Amino acid sequence: MDANKMTRRQLLQRFGAVGGSSLVMGAMGAWDLMGQPSGPRPVMKGPRPDTKVIVLGAGLSGLTVGYELGKLDYDYRVLEARDSVGGLCWTVRRGMQHTEIGGETQVCDFDEGQYINAGAWRIPNRDQGIIGYCKELGVPLQLFVNLSDANYYYEEDPELGSLSGQRVRLREVKADMWGSITELLAKAMDSGQIDAPLSEEDEVLLMGFLVRAGYLDSEDHFYGPPELRGSEDRWDFGSLLRSNFGGRVRSLYAGTGGPDPVFQPIGGMNQIPLAFERAMGHHITFGAEVRSIRQSEQGVRVVYRDTRTGREREETADFCVSCLPMSILKKIDVNFSPEMAEAVGKTEHSSSAKMGLQMKRRFWEEDDGIFGGHLWSSSLQLGEFSYPSNDFYSDKGVLLGYYGRGGQAGLADMRIRDRVEHTLTQASKVHPQMREEFEHAYCVWWDKVPFSEGAYGRTPDAELLGQLSKPDGRVYLGSAGASGRPAWLEGAIQSAWRTVEALHERVSA
């Protein structure tokens, strides 16, 4: 479409109709797709049920199901294929290892105390379900900096003019965008162009606000970049508009210091599953790889392979709650109803991947004054490159060098060293210190992780979700993938609560 051939009004209307810019802001859209917060935790009571439940998977949903069943005095057993709890709540530390499906083995050689949250990593305050468990189980939380004015944009795009190939700070964009807006309005007021429904005195106060808020010169009302901006130049306003860097410049923005602060467990995300494990005693069987689920009118029989001996074992119970990833459940032999089998078969999952990069020193803090937040770039093909919000000013640190789709830039098909090479090369365009300071990498491509074979589920449509949320005979699905917020820990909690509530109601009836 040639913009010049439309009338100004048509253009304005057209733009208005799409409600803002349609440029893609970053790699992961999940942040804006958080869905609704949970209600309060259901209050479940009743006589001691003489009922046994098998819970499959010791990720956050399985742990929640087991923990709540335990509080209700159920006899329950959690079967977990790995030798540790957590599932997608995986904090990678020194000595941990995994072998990619059809690929290489990595052993983490980070220093002691260094870590990367390879899966779940941030908890918005609105997610009171998971936060409630952190309080109950004694997992201390700290702020997660989800946005910092010091963070950089970096795009290579001739359309961006002087901005192309430049490191542009959010604080520069904020100051220049608001400065330009307030300057435009102040100038229009100066020349009597504005017909605002304000008293003369209020107009004076308004001008005072514009001058102060936008850092305008108090005399001539021209915008002058403030000291806090960090440099006295200003970016070309037209280029800024075309860049869409202003997409994060809003009166309100969810994130640290904003209306909805974000948190993380001190010491890594897996502090949460570890706290559940401590609270649940010996109810978890590790190394139990589920092979089949057979239900009858009398009960459920789960056959699993003991990964240490290779021998098949079985567990029987009255009910079974699957908190396995849908990607795994799909492949297991279950005598579901045709409707449920079809629904499970239709589920999808994200191919998210993360790469932790241990650095000799926290150059982003020391040299760039960046304390948490992200690097925003589509050109670099790093997804959501991020800086740690923990252990500020300490000696070393682990950057999240890559967080995006596993297949982006052909990375999934590369050897691990080549994925790291890609990341170092690309990130060096913004942080030339990368190669000099790099020490160790660890890659988690979730599609290639045994017992996960994918990251979080993709939001199913409402009909599919309805099917997944219902019990199928004596089998329930309690994982985040069967919730409206599959990409969030809170989805795991919601699904677990729904399941335990329904099961307990049935048993108590």
Per CB under 8 A, contacts with a copy of itself among 103-162 are 125, 131, 134-135, 140-143, 145, 147-150
Amino acid identity for residue 73 in this structure: D
Q: Report if residue 363 touches a copy of itself, rule: CB under 8 A.
A: no
409 Cβ neighbours under 8 A, 6+ residues apart? 381, 422
Q: Report if residue 55 touches a copy of itself, rule: CB under 8 A.
A: no
Residues 4, 105, 298, 309: which binds a copy of itself (CB under 8 A)?
4
429 Cβ neighbours under 8 A, 6+ residues apart? 154, 165, 380
Q: Which residue, 220 or 505, is less far from a copy of itself as judged by CB? A: 220
Residue 210 C-beta: closest distance to a copy of itself, Å: 7
d(CA 445, CA 100): 8
Buried b / exposed e along 134-168 (16+ C-beta atoms within 10 A): beebebebeebbbbbbbbbbbbeeeebeebbebeb
Q: Which residue, 125 or 292, is less far from a copy of itself as judged by CB? A: 125
Residue 401 C-beta: closest distance to a copy of itself, Å: 23
Q: Are 478 and 321 in contact (CB under 8 A)?
A: yes
Q: Which residue, 177 or 375, is less far from a copy of itself as judged by CB? A: 177
Site residues for a copy of itself, window 251-270 (CB under 8 A)?
Answer: 251-261, 263
Distances (CA, A) of 342 to 55, 182, 334, 347, 379: 22, 56, 12, 9, 39
Q: Which residue, 208 or 410, is less far from a copy of itself as judged by CB? A: 208
Query: What mask of x and - would describe binding to a copy of itself in positions 197 to 216, judged by CB under 8 A?
Result: -xxxxxxxxxxxxxxxxxx-
Distances (CA, A) of 178 to 128, 202, 206, 224, 471: 34, 20, 15, 11, 53
Residue 225 C-beta: closest distance to a copy of itself, Å: 9
Please choose, out of 171-179, 281-289, 339-347, 441-449, the segment that lies near a copy of itself by the rule CB under 8 A: 171-179
Residues 77, 93, 122, 229: which binds a copy of itself (CB under 8 A)?
229
Q: Which residue, 11 or 464, is less far from a copy of itself as judged by CB? A: 11
d(CA 54, CA 276): 17
Residues 115, 152, 154, 178: which binds a copy of itself (CB under 8 A)?
178
Q: Which residue, 161 or 473, is less far from a copy of itself as judged by CB? A: 161
Q: Report if residue 56 touches a copy of itself, rule: CB under 8 A.
A: no
Residue 455 C-beta: closest distance to a copy of itself, Å: 27
Residue 439 C-beta: closest distance to a copy of itself, Å: 19
Residue 61 C-beta: closest distance to a copy of itself, Å: 22
Number of Cα atoms under 13 Å in the Cβ half of residue 5: 2
Number of residues that bind a copy of itself (CB under 8 A): 95
Q: Which residue, 219 or 297, is less far from a copy of itself as judged by CB? A: 219
Distances (CA, A) of 149 to 159, 229, 276, 504: 24, 9, 36, 48
Q: How many CB atoms lie within 10 A of CB 454?
A: 24
Number of Cα atoms under 13 Å in the Cβ half of residue 373: 23
Q: Which residue, 70 or 261, is less far from a copy of itself as judged by CB? A: 261
Q: Report if residue 1 touches a copy of itself, rule: CB under 8 A.
A: no
Torsion-angle region of residue 244: left (phi > 0), alpha (psi -120 to 50) or beta? left
Q: Report if residue 219 touches a copy of itself, rule: CB under 8 A.
A: yes
Q: Report if residue 34 touches a copy of itself, rule: CB under 8 A.
A: no
Residue 234 C-beta: closest distance to a copy of itself, Å: 12
Q: Which residue, 422 or 485, is less far from a copy of itself as judged by CB? A: 485
Residue 154 C-beta: closest distance to a copy of itself, Å: 18
Q: Report if residue 40 touches a copy of itself, rule: CB under 8 A.
A: no
Whether the CA torsion 184, 187, 189, 191 is positive or negative: it is negative
Residues 59, 62, 129, 179: which binds a copy of itself (CB under 8 A)?
179
Structure tokens at 374: 């992200």
Residue 488 C-beta: closest distance to a copy of itself, Å: 18
Q: Which residue, 220 or 333, is less far from a copy of itself as judged by CB? A: 220
Residues 37, 230, 267, 299: which binds a copy of itself (CB under 8 A)?
230
Site residues for a copy of itself, window 181-200 (CB under 8 A)?
Answer: 181-182, 184-185, 188-190, 193-196, 198-200
Q: Which residue, 174 or 405, is less far from a copy of itself as judged by CB? A: 174
Residues 43, 393, 461, 509: which binds a copy of itself (CB under 8 A)?
393
Q: Which residue, 105 or 191, is less far from a copy of itself as judged by CB? A: 191
d(CA 211, CA 70): 61
Q: Report if residue 486 touches a copy of itself, rule: CB under 8 A.
A: no
DSSP state of 268: -
d(CA 318, CA 474): 7
Provide the pairing of β-strand 438-445 with 352-359: antiparallel
d(CA 184, CA 223): 9
DSSP assignments along 122-146, one per residue: -EETT-HHHHHHHHHHT--EEE---
Q: Report if residue 46 touches a copy of itself, rule: CB under 8 A.
A: no
Q: How many CB atoms lie within 10 A of CB 28?
A: 17
Amino acid identity for residue 301 in this structure: R
Q: Which residue, 392 or 417, is less far from a copy of itself as judged by CB? A: 392
Q: Report if residue 331 touches a copy of itself, rule: CB under 8 A.
A: no
